[in-house]
Chain A
Amino acid sequence: DVVLTQSPLSLPVTLGQPASISCRSSQSLVYIDGKTYLTWFHQRPGQSPRRLIYEVSTRDSGVPDRFSGSGSGTDFTLKISRVEAEDLGLYYCMQGSHWPPNFGQGTRLEIK
């Protein structure tokens, strides 16, 4: 199975400052159709996950443009240009290119 490794596992941030989360895959996530099925989710404390970004860099409707996704092959990054209080919580990457689909272990974004 593909292993997704997120780093860091904990990310203390100052509000208004940028933040970056890495997701590395044990295998290339490029599917045979040439697309890459890497998705990012955010989970606030006590809430369900919310999808932010799919296919590496496509933001979901309603997701602020301070969130951006990038990467290719095995290395992917979620960036927040200026962290706001509502951004705190857990972030997960997920791959859908290989069977079975699976998630990274999560990165906790917290206030420094």
Chain B
Amino acid sequence: QVQLVESGGGLVKPGGSQRLSCAASGFNFSDYYMSWIRQAPGKGLEWLAYISGNGHTIYYADSVKGRFTISRDNAKASLFLQMHSLRVEDTALYYCARQYGGYPLNDAFDIWGQGTMVTVSS
């Protein structure tokens, strides 16, 4: 079945780095744009970044621009989020989600992973 499985979360010190992965299955991964979305503990949802199916179009939220990098490997049906210069306020559950097309988001986030928790603390 269609599935997204995130991994790579953990405890990291402020200023540190972490790389998240999202393994896709059950659909033709390269046909879809993909996004990263996060949810801080007890808070709402925040879109972070998306990447086109061929990897050529990438956009970031201002809150992570210059610190986070989204990428993908279509041969391995995998999505990545490389995070640098992590801050305490980056502590959140990080989800990958599928979308059909880019902006405007007309058919977005129909499939979500279960999330991977990143805790930034000294």
Contacts and interface: CB of A to CB of B under 8 A. Distances in A.
A104 B95 CA distance: 17
A94 B80 CA distance: 23
A110 to B, nearest CB: 15
Per DSSP, chain A at the interface is loop
Contacts of B44: 92, 103-106
A37 interface: yes
Interface of A: 31, 33, 35, 37, 39, 41, 48-51, 54-55, 60, 92, 94, 96-97, 99-106
A48 B113 contact: yes
B104 interface: yes
Contacts of A103: 44-47
9 contacts: A54-B106, A54-B108, A92-B44, A94-B45, A94-B105, A99-B103, A100-B59, A101-B47, A103-B44
A39 B109 contact: yes
A61 to B, nearest CB: 9
A31 B61 contact: no
Contacts of A51: 109-110
A50 B111 CA distance: 7
Contact of A49 (B62, B103, B112): B112
Contacts of A35: 104, 106
B68 to A, nearest CB: 14
B7 interface: no
A102 B109 CA distance: 12
Interface in B89-118: 95, 103-110, 112-115
